[in-house]
Each structure stands twice: as C-alpha cells, then as structure tokens.
Amino acid sequence: MTSKNLKIRTLILFLGILLTACGGMRPGGNTPPTEIPPVQAETGVVVEGRIVPRKWVDISFPTNGQVAEVLVKKGDQVK
C-alpha cells in the first residue's frame, strides 16, 4: 500500500466517522409524541419512556479564554 493510498483511506475513514457522529437525530424534532401502552405486571404497572425538552437552545461562544477574576462571592445576588 502506498503512502498516498493510506492517506486517502484514512481521510475516508475520518470523514465517515465524522458524518456518523453528526448525523444523529436531535430530540424534540418534528416527530409527534408516541403513546406508550402500559404493561400489567404482577407488582404493578410498568411503563418505559424517554423525557426530552420541548424547546432547547445551543449556546456557544466564538471566543475562548480564562476567567481572570470573579467579582462576586458565593451566595451574592447579582443582576
């Protein structure tokens, strides 16, 4: 195997992993909620489900850095 061939295969593998990781369905999309039927057990009712928020927001900041000083103490009220 040549060096160029190895680089191409590595790139394809990396892109495949990247696309697989980013391709997941986000919770709370446009799918309607699904009714989950209860199951009668000897000890009671057993129900399984998944709780997801109705609305969410992704928060990110375009810069990075370190906090130099915190001007409040634990328990202080701030506005």
For the stretch 3-33, pLDDT in tens is 888 888 888 888 888 777 665 555 555 667 7
Q: What is the pLDDT of residue 29?
A: 57
d(CA 33, CA 50): 10
Structure tokens, 22: 């980013």
For the stretch 34-48, pLDDT in tens is 787 776 777 776 677
Residue 14 three-state SS: helix
Query: For all residues of the chain together, what is the average pLDDT?
Result: 78
Q: What is the pLDDT of residue 78?
A: 86
Q: What is the pLDDT of residue 69?
A: 92
Residue 46 three-state SS: strand
What stretches of 1-79 adopt beta strand conformation (E)?
A: 39-41, 44-46
55 near 28, Cβ under 8 Å?
yes
Q: What is the pLDDT of residue 25?
A: 54
The identity of residue 11, as a single letter, is L
pTM above 0.85, yes or no: no
